[in-house]
C-alpha cells in the first residue's frame, strides 16, 4: 500500500478537505510509487492562510534573535538528516546524489546565514536636520507570505524563501512543486521538530492551477515569492499588481559561457560540461549557450562531444551515475521538440538528441546529453529556455561580438567568461547584462551569502539570498523622535 502524506496547517498534519490525492512517482523509474499526496484546493489554502494570519500576531513579536535560535536548530537538524534528505530528493526529482547533497547543504548554509541575521537585521540611523531630534529606519515584517517553489531544487529554494521570511517576523504558506512533495513534507517535519510554532509555517500540496492560483489571489496574502517559468511569472505579476500585492519573481535563463582564444581550454570544457549537463540541464542557471572564439571552436567542440558521450546516465542513487533523468514525460517531450526545431533551423547535431531508454533507463525519463554546433545567435534553440541537457555552440570572432551575443536574449540570469586576459575579464564584468557573472567558472554555483537573481525576463528586479533578500520580506519604517519639547517644522523656514 502506498504511503499517504498530508498537508501541514495550523500545527496539524491533515488531508485535503476534498480527501483527493495525487501520485508522486520516481522519474528514474515511473513504476516506483513514492507516495500519495493531498490534491488540495482553495479551501485548504484558505485554512492555511487563516492559520498564518492568526500566528503572525504573536510571531512578529518574538525577538528576532529568538527566531534565529529556532533557525539555528533547523540548520543542525538539516545537517543530521543530510543524507536522508538527499536520497529523498534523488528518488523524486532524479538528480544524482552528489548534487542533492549539495542542495541540502545549500539549505544548511541558508539556515545558519539567516539565523545569524536575527542579531542584525540592520536599519539605519542618520542625523536629523533639526536640533533635539533623532532619526532612524527599521525593518518591519509584512505579514503572510505565499511561497511557490519549483522541483529542481526542492530543498534549497524553499529555504531561500522561508528562512528570510521567518527571521523577519513573517508567517508562511508554502506550495511546493507537485513533482517533489516528499522533500517538502520531510522539511516541514524538521521545522516542527526545531520548534517553529503552530501556524507560523503551513504546507499545502497540490497543482499550481488550483493551490498556487488560490494562494496568489488570497486577500490575506501580503507577499508572493515565486520561482518558475517566465510565462507563469507574468500571470502572477498581473494578479499581484491588480491587488497591490508585493511580488518577487525568479524566472528563466538562457545563460551563455564565453570561451576566448586565450582561455585554459581544458578548464573551459570542464566548466561547460558541468554547466550544461549538471542536473540534466534543469537549472535556471544552466549553460545552454557556449559562445566560442572561432580560433579554438573546433578544438573545444570536439573535446566537448567526446566528453559528453562518456557521461554515465542512470538512476541518481547509483554513485557511479553522472546524469539522471528529466523530471517527467512532459519535460522530455519538450526537449524532443527543441531537438527537431534545432534541426529545422539547420543547426548541426553533433551528439545526443534522443531518448535514452536502454537497460536500466527503460522505465525513466532519460535523455542523452545533446550538443548542437553551427548555431546562429537568433535561432530558437539559442533564444528560448529548453530546460534540458542541450548545449548550443555559437562561434564568434571577437570579444565585442561575444558580449553582444551573450546579451542578445530576453533573459539575463547568469553568465560566464573563460579568459586569461584581465582586461577582458573586467570589461566582461562591466558589460555583461546578467545578475550573475563568473570569471573562469561555469554559469552554475551561486553561494547563499550573495544576491541571486537576474535582469530582463529573468525576474522583476528583486534578489534572493544574501542580505538583499530582506528587502523582499520587510517593509521599511522611518522613525523620528523629537525630544525638544516644542513643535519643530521640518523644511519650514523659521528665520
Q: Is residue 99 part of a domain?
A: yes
Instruction: Show the beta-strand stretches assigned E in 251-331.
Output: 255-259, 287-293
What's the rounded Cα separation, in Å, for the pair 430 and 436? 11
The pair phi, psi for residue 274, each rounded to 5°, is: -65, -45
What's the rounded Cα separation, in Å, for the pair 388 and 381? 11
Q: Is residue 444 part of a domain?
A: no
Q: Is 471 helix (H, G, I), strand (E, B) or coil?
A: helix
Pair 444, 414: CB distance under 8 Å: yes
Residues pairing with 246 in the sheet = 223
What's the rounded Cα separation, in Å, for the pair 427 and 432? 8
Q: Which of 92, 178, 250, 322 is flagged as catalytic?
A: 250
Q: Are residues 90 and 69 in the same domain?
A: yes
Q: What per-residue confidence (pLDDT) applies to 494?
A: 63
Q: Are residues 264 and 245 in the same domain?
A: no
Domain housing 245: 7-251+459-479
Q: Edge to edge, what strands does the sheet with 246-250 contain?
A: 12-14, 7-9, 201-203, 171-175, 144-148, 223-227, 246-250
Q: Are residues 20 and 56 in the same domain?
A: yes
Q: Is residue 46 part of a domain?
A: yes
Phi-psi region of 279 (alpha: psi -120 to 50; beta: other; left: phi over 0): left
The pair phi, psi for residue 126, each rounded to 5°, is: -150, 150
Q: Is residue 2 part of a domain?
A: no
Tell me the CATH number at 369.
3.40.309.10
Beta strands 29-38 and 21-26 are antiparallel
Q: What per-residue confidence (pLDDT) applies to 269?
A: 98
The pair phi, psi for residue 135, each rounded to 5°, is: -130, 135
Half-sphere exposure (Cβ direction) of 64: Cα atoms closer than 13 Å: 21
Beta strands 255-259 and 171-175 are unpaired
Q: Is residue 272 part of a domain?
A: yes
Contacts of 64 (CB under 8 A, 6+ apart): 117, 118, 119, 121, 167, 168, 169
Q: Are residues 465 and 425 in the same domain?
A: no
Radius of gyration of the chain (CA): 24
Q: Are residues 431 and 340 in the same domain?
A: yes
What's the rounded Cα separation, in Å, for the pair 330 and 336? 10
Q: What is the rounded (10 degree) CA torsion for 242, 151, 200, 5?
A: 120
What is this structure's pTM? Answer: 0.96
Q: Is 250 a catalytic residue?
A: yes
Q: Are residues 83 and 163 in the same domain?
A: yes
Helix (H) or strand (E) holding 59: helix 42-59
Q: Are residues 199 and 277 in the same domain?
A: no
Contacts of 189 (CB under 8 A, 6+ apart): none
Beta strands 21-26 and 223-227 are unpaired
Q: Are residues 267 and 244 in the same domain?
A: no
All three cell numbers of 407: 546579451
Q: Are residues 123 and 187 in the same domain?
A: yes
Q: Is residue 489 part of a domain?
A: no
Q: Which of 284, 361, 385, 395 is flagged as catalytic?
A: 284
Q: Are residues 190 and 45 in the same domain?
A: yes
Q: What per-residue confidence (pLDDT) applies to 160?
A: 96
Q: Is residue 204 part of a domain?
A: yes
Q: Which of 345, 390, 387, 389 is nearest to 372 (CA)?
A: 390
Pair 416, 271: CB distance under 8 Å: yes
**CA quadruple 399, 267, 321, 104: dihedral positive or negative?**
negative
Q: Is residue 484 part of a domain?
A: no
Q: Are residues 341 and 247 in the same domain?
A: no
Instruction: Show the beta-strand stretches assigned E in 81-176.
Output: 124-127, 133-141, 144-148, 171-175
Q: Is 189 a catalytic residue?
A: no
pLDDT in tens, the chain (495 residues): 679 999 999 999 999 999 999 999 999 999 999 999 999 999 999 999 999 999 999 999 999 999 999 999 999 999 999 999 999 999 999 999 999 999 999 999 999 999 999 999 999 999 999 999 999 999 999 999 999 999 999 999 999 999 999 999 999 999 999 999 999 999 999 999 999 999 999 999 999 999 999 999 999 999 999 999 999 999 999 999 999 999 999 999 999 999 999 999 999 999 999 999 999 999 999 999 999 999 999 999 999 999 999 999 999 999 999 999 999 999 999 999 999 999 999 999 999 999 999 889 999 999 999 999 999 999 999 999 999 999 999 999 999 999 999 999 999 999 999 999 999 999 999 999 999 999 999 999 999 999 999 999 999 999 999 999 999 999 999 999 999 999 999 888 765
Half-sphere exposure (Cβ direction) of 258: Cα atoms closer than 13 Å: 32
Q: Are residues 170 and 71 in the same domain?
A: yes
Contacts of 291 (CB under 8 A, 6+ apart): 256, 257, 258, 259, 394, 396, 402, 405, 406
All three cell numbers of 112: 545558519
Structural domain count of the chain? 2
Tell me the CATH number at 177.
3.40.605.10
All three cell numbers of 87: 536520497
Q: Which of 11, 175, 49, 151 is nearest to 92 (CA)?
A: 151
CA distances from 255 to 273, 285, 298 (A): 14, 6, 21
The pair phi, psi for residue 366, each rounded to 5°, is: -90, 150
Q: What is the rounded (10 degree) CA torsion for 287, 293, 298, 301?
A: -10
Amino acid at each position: 500500500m502506498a504511503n499517504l502524506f498530508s498537508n501541514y496547517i495550523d500545527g496539524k498534519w491533515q488531508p485535503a478537505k476534498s480527501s483527493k490525492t495525487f501520485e508522486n512517482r520516481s522519474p528514474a523509474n515511473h513504476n516506483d510509487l513514492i507516495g500519495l499526496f493531498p490534491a488540495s484546493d482553495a479551501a485548504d489554502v484558505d485554512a492555511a492562510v487563516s492559520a498564518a494570519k492568526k500566528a503572525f500576531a504573536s510571531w512578529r513579536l518574538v525577538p528576532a534573535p529568538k527566531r534565529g535560535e529556532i533557525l539555528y536548530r533547523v540548520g543542525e537538524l538539516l545537517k543530521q538528516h543530510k543524507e536522508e534528505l538527499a536520497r529523498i530528493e534523488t528518488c523524486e526529482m532524479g538528480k544524482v546524489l552528489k548534487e542533492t547533497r549539495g542542495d541540502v547543504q545549500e539549505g544548511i548554509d541558508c539556515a545558519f546565514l539567516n539565523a545569524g541575521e536575527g542579531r542584525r537585521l540592520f536599519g539605519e540611523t542618520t542625523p536629523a536636520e533639526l536640533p533635539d531630534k533623532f532619526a532612524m529606519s527599521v525593518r518591519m515584517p509584512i505579514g503572510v507570505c505565499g511561497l511557490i517553489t519549483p522541483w529542481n531544487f526542492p530543498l534549497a529554494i524553499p529555504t531561500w524563501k522561508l528562512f528570510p521570511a521567518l527571521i523577519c517576523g513573517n508567517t508562511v504558506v508554502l506550495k511546493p512543486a507537485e513533482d517533489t512533495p516528499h522533500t517538502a513534507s520531510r522539511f516541514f517535519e524538521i521545522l516542527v521538530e526545531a520548534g517553529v510554532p503552530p501556524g507560523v509555517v503551513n504546507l499545502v500540496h497540490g497543482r499550481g492551477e488550483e493551490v498556487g492560483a488560490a494562494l496568489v489571489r488570497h486577500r490575506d496574502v501580503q507577499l508572493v515569492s515565486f520561482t518558475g517559468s517566465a510565462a507563469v511569472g507574468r500571470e502572477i505579476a498581473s494578479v499581484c499588481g491588480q491587488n497591490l500585492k508585493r511580488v518577487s519573481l525568479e524566472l528563466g535563463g538562457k545563460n551563455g559561457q564565453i570561451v576566448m582564444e586565450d582561455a585554459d581550454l581544458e578548464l573551459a570544457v570542464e566548466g561547460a560540461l558541468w554547466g550544461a549537463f549538471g542536473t540534466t540541464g534543469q537549472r535556471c542557471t544552466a549553460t545552454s549557450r557556449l559562445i566560442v572564439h572561432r580560433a579554438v571552436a573546433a578544438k573545444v567542440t570536439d573535446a566537448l562531444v567526446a566528453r559528453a558521450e562518456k557521461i554515465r546516465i542512470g538512476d541518481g542513487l547509483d554513485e557511479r551515475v553522472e546524469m539522471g533523468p528529466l523530471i517527467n514525460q512532459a519535460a522530455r517531450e519538450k526537449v524532443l521538440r527543441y531537438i527537431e526545431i534545432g534541426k529545422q533551423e539547420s543547426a548541426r547535431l553533433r551528439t545526443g538528441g534522443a531518448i535514452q531508454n536502454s537497460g536500466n533507463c527503460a522505465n525513466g525519463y532519460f535523455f542523452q546529453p545533446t550538443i548542437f554546433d553551427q548555431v546562429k545567435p537568433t535561432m530558437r534553440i539559442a533564444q528560448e529556455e529548453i530546460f534540458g541537457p542541450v548545449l548550443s555552440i555559437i562561434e564568434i570572432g571577437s570579444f565585442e561580438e561575444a558580449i553582444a551575443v551573450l546579451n542578445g536574449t530576453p533573459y539575463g540570469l547568469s553568465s560566464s567568461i573563460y579568459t586569461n586576459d584581465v582586461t577582458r575579464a573586467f570589461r566582461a564584468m562591466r558589460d555583461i547584462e546578467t545578475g550573475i557573472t563568473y570569471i573562469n567558472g561555469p554559469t552554475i554555483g551561486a553561494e547563499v551569502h550573495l544576491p541571486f537573481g537576474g535582469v530582463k525576463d529573468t525576474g522583476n528586479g528583486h534578489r534572493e539570498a544574501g542580505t538583499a533578500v530582506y528587502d523582499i520580506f520587510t517593509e521599511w519604517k522611518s522613525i523620528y523622535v523629537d525630544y525638544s519639547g516644542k513643535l519643530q517644522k521640518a523644511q519650514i523656514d523659521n528665520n
